[in-house]
Amino acid sequence: FPSRIFVNCSLALETIRCFGFDMDYTLLSPASALQHLPSLAALPWPCTRPTLSQCFPTSPSHGFVSPSRAEIWNYDPNKFIQRDDMKRFHILNTLFNLREAYLYTCLVDFFTNCTCDTGYKHGNLFMSFCSIFQDVREAMDHVHLLGCLKEKMLENLEKFMVKDPHVRVPLLLSPMKEAGKGFLATNSDYNYTDVSTQLPATPRAGRLWRSYFNLIVVDTRKPLFFTEGTVLRQVNTDTGKLWIGTYTRPLQHCAVYSGGSSDMVCDLLRVKGKDILYIGDHIFGDILKSKRRQGWRTFLVLPELARELHVWMEKREIFKELRRLDVQLADSSCKAEPDCSRGCREVGEGHLTWLGAQIQFGSSQPQSPELQGTCQLLSLQLEQGKPEAV
């Protein structure tokens, strides 16, 4: 199942002239953070390695406690969510957001056991759950902008990144580049991209990872990349620094650029939006924005869907039984007699098809006038919509 492709809209691949890729969770797979959960020294943490449930992303909870029906009615008596009231919600677009959500869950669980229902109160100090969430969000943005998170990852990259033992990434990129143009657009900086993309070993010794792409853009700042974008600069691949000024020359082989926009990508590659198939994992930043703003064809990578498909196939008999019981339950309150005309018609059509095939193709024996008369009678009854037993 991890290698299956599901199509929502038919697409002729011969019309695609360019293949675009995101990097993290698309070409590269970061390792699970379960074994590397950090202990927070600034907090009186009761447990440095909390247990992570597999149903954590899909089960509603307050901290690690699932609220009862009475508690839900107490928090929201109307049980109605206004779509415009987005201040109460934060959408998790990628798997990386699970780390952030889990950290927030740990904090809510800890402070809930210490104080009141709406936050933490100690003397004159009050810290609401909303302010805790804002602190977590700002902390995550801070470590990203500062770069310290990826610096720690680069110190021991094999610990945080899954290495592909079958070397499938180069085998994927090589034929795609032969069939059309390829580009890489990532929000990561050049130093992190340069080191992490070398982790999947290439089948050809000494081949640069940059040679698999016609265009490489780092620091894209998606989803801003799909609107007005930022200044396009060329990266000095020897030092990792940016050249001063906006890049205005034609596309160079194995060159790396920083910033820019999706319009600049189309101009450099000399393609239109409908000619691009973009592959990424970010529902909002990669898929929705690229399709709605630029008309790119999109390919969403969902590694977490593999387990759901496995369960669906393994328990398919149970799902069939549930569907049968659901239909039976829906018909149990019906007082009208079941309409059997459609079933009779389908049976009659099936017999007619078989008899016709016997007469025209299938029978090696001469057909009797009685058999031919039966077929004519069935044809007449089917045209009138009243099939009867013959």
Q: What is the per-residue pLDDT across 248-287, written as a single tens digit (0 to 9) for each?
A: 888 988 899 999 999 999 999 999 999 999 998 887 777 8
3-class secondary-structure state, position 125: strand
Judged against a pLDDT cut of 70, whether residue 51 lies above it is answered with no
CATH of domain 13-28+160-302: 3.40.50.1000
Q: CB neighbours (10 Å) of residue 181?
A: 21
Least confident of 188-197, 226-235, 334-343, 358-367: 358-367
- What is the structure's pLDDT at 361? 45
> Residue 20's closest CA among 288, 283, 211, 279?
279
- Give the mean model confidence (pLDDT) for residues 60-79: 80
Active site residues: 22, 24
30, amino acid identity: P
Phi, psi of 20, rounded to the nearest 5 degrees? -110, 150
Interval 317-352: pLDDT, tens: 999 999 989 888 887 777 776 666 665 665 555 555
Buried-exposed string 83-95: b where 16+ CB fall within 10 A, e elsewhere = eeeeeeeeeebbb
355 vs 260 pLDDT, higher one: 260
Judged against a pLDDT cut of 50, whether residue 208 lies above it is answered with yes
- CA separation, residue 239 to residues 50, 221, 317 (Å): 41, 21, 59
- Give the mean model confidence (pLDDT) for residues 310-319: 89
* Proportion of the chain above pLDDT 70, given as a percent: 73
- What is the structure's pLDDT at 45? 44
- What is the structure's pLDDT at 35? 43
* pLDDT mean across residues, the chain: 76
- What is the structure's pLDDT at 230? 93
Whole-model pTM: value is 0.69
Task: CATH 3.40.50.1000 in the chain: give the residue spans.
Answer: 13-28+160-302
Least confident of 15-24, 268-277, 365-374: 365-374
79 vs 357 pLDDT, higher one: 79
- What is the structure's pLDDT at 371? 56
> Residue 294's closest CA among 5, 11, 83, 18?
18
**Is there a contact between 29 and 96 (Cβ–Cβ < 8 Å)?**
no
- What is the structure's pLDDT at 96? 76
CA gap 257, 235 in Å, rounded = 5
- Of 293-302, 316-325, 340-349, 358-367, highest mean pLDDT: 316-325
- CA separation, residue 346 to residues 74, 350, 361, 388 (Å): 55, 6, 22, 12
67, amino acid identity: P
> Residue 249's closest CA among 267, 224, 273?
267
- What is the structure's pLDDT at 157? 79
Q: Token pair for residue 255? A: 């060159």
- What is the structure's pLDDT at 46? 46
* Proportion of the chain above pLDDT 90, given as a percent: 16
**Is there a contact between 18 and 176 (Cβ–Cβ < 8 Å)?**
no
Interval 71-121: pLDDT, tens: 888 877 777 777 777 777 888 777 778 788 888 888 888 888 776 666 677
Residue position matching structure tokens 């659901």: 326
Residue position matching structure tokens 């459609």: 342
Least confident of 27-41, 211-225, 329-343: 27-41
Instruction: Compute and round to an integer the Cα radius of gyration of the chain.
Output: 30
